[in-house]
Structures are given as C-alpha cells and as structure tokens.
Amino acid sequence: MHLLKFAYDGSLFQGYSRQEGKITVEGEIINTMERFGLKAVLKSSSRTDRSVSALGNVIGIKSERNLKDIIGILKNARNLYFYAYAEVDDSFNPRHANERWYRYMTPYEVSGNRKNKRKGEYFHR
C-alpha cells in the first residue's frame, strides 16, 4: 500500500467525506482517480468538517499502479497538495494512528488592530 501525506485549504471544500452534489476532499480524490482511470482502494486517516484545513492528512492507496503513476495522477486533483509518501504493508490502516496532532486557528491572523490575509490565502499551487 502507498501512504500519501497531503494538505488542503478547507475553505474550498464542504468537508472531507464524499457527499452527492458537494465539493469534498474525498470526492476530489475519487473524481481525479476516475478521470485518469486509476482503480484503487482508499483508506483515509481522518476526516475534517466543512471549512477545516489540514496540513498533514494521510491516505492509504492500494492499487496495481506504481507510486510514480499514482502521484502523477493525484497532482491533477484541484486544491489538494500531496507532498510525502511511504510504502507500508497492505494490512496497515491509517485510521489506527498512534498519535494525532491538531492546532485550531481562527480564520484571520490578527496583528495589532488590523486583520491580515485569510489563512487560506497562504496556500499556493
């Protein structure tokens, strides 16, 4: 199994889990895989609510395709940024992590009396 680490700006999604008629993180991954003919089994590590961003979410992908092909395909996913990978045993389940780390932030960074850029504006493609 290929384990991929990725980030996303949650303000661009209506949550993580795929939902009919909504733009979600999982939906974007699945739609991208389908557009490029990638057949795979997905195992997600965690799910986020609407407008919640992630800097280190992890997804396991089991496929006959090689890692280079998978990464090349997922680079086409809109507003998702894949940046690390590992090979793990097929029995590995990312949902059973030994540790999770969260940081909660307000939508705006406050400096003095003025509001700076929205946090999502720091994500660049």
The catalytic residue positions are 49
Please list, residue by residue across 59-96, b when 16 or more beta carbons sit within 10 angstroms of its beta carbon and e when fewer do: bbbebebeeeebeebbeebebbbbeebeeeeeeeebee
108-111 and 80-87 strand pairing: unpaired
Give the closest residue to 82 by CA, choosing from 59, 108, 103, 104.
59
Size (the chain), residues: 125
Helix, strand, or coil here: 23? coil
